[in-house]
Amino acid sequence: MKKGLLKSGKFAIVGALAFALTACGSGGNKDAGKGASSSPASSQSAAAEGYKPKKPIQIIAPSGAGGGWDKTARSIAKVLGETKLVNQPITVENKPGGGGAVFLASYVAEDAGNDYKLFVSSPPILVNNLKKEGNSPFGYKDVTPLAGLTEDFGAIAVAADSKYKDLKSLLDDLKADPKSVTIAGGSAPGSMDHIIAVLPAYKYGVDPKTVKYLSYDGGGEALTALLGGNAQAIGTDVSSLGEYLKAGKIRILAVSAPERLGGDFKDIPTMKEQGVDAEFLIWRGIFGPKNMSAEAKGYWEAKMKELSESDVWKQELAANAWAGSFKNAADFTAYLGEQEKLVKDTLTALGMAK
């Protein structure tokens, strides 16, 4: 059984035309071998041998409390502390603003060589760097990717009393009159929730630029709009919808996973099951500064692998409805490069690429 959400073992996310933000394959584990090998993995392991942090560590969540970044940062800090994988105190600090762009600008300018300040991120680090309006001049190449840790998926949901019982009925109305349906999301135009909201419509033959998308400051506000009748549907990450689904407040029409999810979402069909060739992966990972020392990079990469294998981390995955998917630094960096291309294609289709 796949860790977290998925019912089966490892899978590869297959890109569906230009729109799907998908993985380029599951990350392999880094060999920790010693000796004369000149491979990057072996060199990194050798550099990390004997390294230990000498002062407290900060993990930054570039958002307010309660969101996916905040939960990820606090879960990492909790597991590293409880398992005693790290010998120094770890604190989590929230730095909201601009979907992570405000923090990233200060981090690149002020902490380029600070081995003691890490941060968590997800696709907005790519989106913000590529979109035309409200963009950030900085992206993943301005920092050091250390490890990919979790996967989440997109979902389209409606209020429990909505006339829409399946994804196609919603899409048929959108195709007939795109302005007749308002879809809410908790991110700015061009960001993740917007992409989730328009993805199935685009794959169904609707021009994504014609879809009426209402942007709210966070998923909570978007859900309030949905339940208050100000939107007919919402596009967001599925892990944020569990409590509303269990309370009978919403109906989830589809998830953007490659196969059905487990747990509370086991009865929700995928977009592909309903004839819409769309998948959307939301990864979350941890990063360090651009000029991080080789010793610190190797140390954190190894610690993240140990964290991903611990029972305490698996409990955090289950509690947050995440799927675990460890990618080492090299695989994570390659993955980001592939997804960056897909993000740019997506924003181009929306007329939002810079």
Examine the domain organization and report whether 95 and 167 are in the same domain: no
Low-confidence ranges of the chain (pLDDT < 70): 1-49
Angle at Cα 23 formed by Cα 303 and Cα 122, nearest 5°?
Answer: 60
pLDDT of residue 267: 95
Examine the domain organization and report whether 130 and 172 are in the same domain: no
Examine the domain organization and report whether 98 and 195 are in the same domain: no
- What is the distance between the alpha carbons of residues 42 and 291, in angstroms, rounded to a whole number? 20
pLDDT of residue 50: 81
Domain boundary among 231, 256, 274: 274
pLDDT of residue 13: 32
pTM of this structure: 0.76
What CATH number is associated with residue 112? 3.40.190.150
Residue 14 lies in a domain: no
Nearest to 62 by CA among 46, 53, 73: 73
CA-CA distances (angstroms) from residue 56 to 90, 122, 287, 329?
A: 6, 24, 17, 23
Residue 3 lies in a domain: no
Examine the domain organization and report whether 197 and 270 are in the same domain: yes
CA dihedral (341, 343, 348, 353) in degrees, to 10, reads: -100
Examine the domain organization and report whether 195 and 142 are in the same domain: no
Examine the domain organization and report whether 269 and 313 are in the same domain: no
Determine contact, residues 61/92, Cβ cutoff 8 Å.
Answer: yes
Model confidence over 295-334: pLDDT tens digits? 999 999 999 999 999 999 999 998 887 889 999 999 999 9
The number of folded domains in the chain is: 2
Domain boundary among 274, 297, 318: 274
Q: Domain of residue 126: give its range.
A: 40-152+283-349
Upper half-sphere CA count for residue 102 (Cβ side, 13 Å): 10
> How far separated are the first and last CA of the chain, in Å rounded?
41
What CATH number is associated with residue 216? 3.40.190.10
Domain boundary among 274, 300, 325: 274
Model confidence over 45-69: pLDDT tens digits? 545 568 999 999 999 999 888 778 9
Residue 61 lies in a domain: yes
pLDDT of residue 36: 35
Q: Helix crossing, 68-82 with 294-309: angle to 10°? A: 90
pLDDT of residue 330: 98
Examine the domain organization and report whether 50 and 108 are in the same domain: yes
Long-range contacts of 160-165 (CB under 8 A, 24+ apart): 160/248, 160/249, 160/250, 160/251, 162/232, 162/233, 162/251, 164/232, 164/233, 164/251, 164/253, 165/251, 165/253
pLDDT of residue 318: 86
Examine the domain organization and report whether 47 and 140 are in the same domain: yes
